[in-house]
Amino acid sequence: MSSLLNLPILFLGDSDITHWSALPSNSLTHATSGFTSIDVLNSLSLLSSPCSSKDNGNDSKEVEEVTHCVMVCGENDLSCSIEISYIHSVVSTIKDTIASLPSTLPMLRHLLFLGPKLEPWQSNNLSSILSYLNLHNQLSYSLPKLEIDNLQITYIDNFSKFTTSSKLTYDLGMFLRSLKEGEVLEFEIERKWFKEDCLHLSEEGYGVWEGIVREWYIDTIK
């Protein structure tokens, strides 16, 4: 993975990036633990700042030459509110962030967005599960439809990567109808993918993402 990540890939987002210990020290990163989608959007201006780029371990010239970006954000927003109207605004902010990237990264051609994932702490929290599923469904529908000149967007469904129930890949309407009809919510979040804090991915979990990034990058340069 390291040889691949030495190529011009920028990792952008929240603690899912900052906890990714397998990223080599010279990788291009712009992430802060606890960041919400609006924080990520507001921080984009710092990408073009030589001082800020150096503080993040990045050279401003390297940032300008980035052709590929891996982005993770949105989960922290749901700790603020799980109302549907709020989730709509989160999706809108993420779309605005993506639309703003080319002005900061003129060479950017490919974006990989790693969608929300269920975490062990949510196992018995139906409202939280539904909010994450709502965010996932909105992002999986809207991001591939974004039309931004010279930018190809790939969305990754992390629900199916880290859980054992196919029900959680349903669209939200089907999922809610099944609950109303009395179906039992049966799923398992694979704890081996997560650290003991039940929040962040373990080394094995990040191994899943590393495989996704590697395959995506290779596909884009064929």
What number is the average pLDDT over the span 181-185? 54
Q: Is 54 exposed, middle or buried (0-12, 13-18, 19+ CB in 10 A)?
A: exposed
pLDDT above 70: residue 173: no
pLDDT above 80: residue 123: no
What number is the average pLDDT over the span 107-135? 89
CATH number of domain containing 40: 3.40.50.1110
| Entry pTM | 0.87
105: domain range?
2-220
How far CA 148 is from CA of 71, 97, 100, in Å, comes to 16, 12, 10
Counting the structural domains of the chain, the total is 1
Q: How confident is the model at residue 128 (pLDDT cuts 50, 70, 90)?
A: confident
For residues 118 and 148, the answer to whether their CB atoms sit within 8 Å is no
Write down how long the chain is. 222
Beta strands in 33-147 (DSSP E): 68-72, 110-114
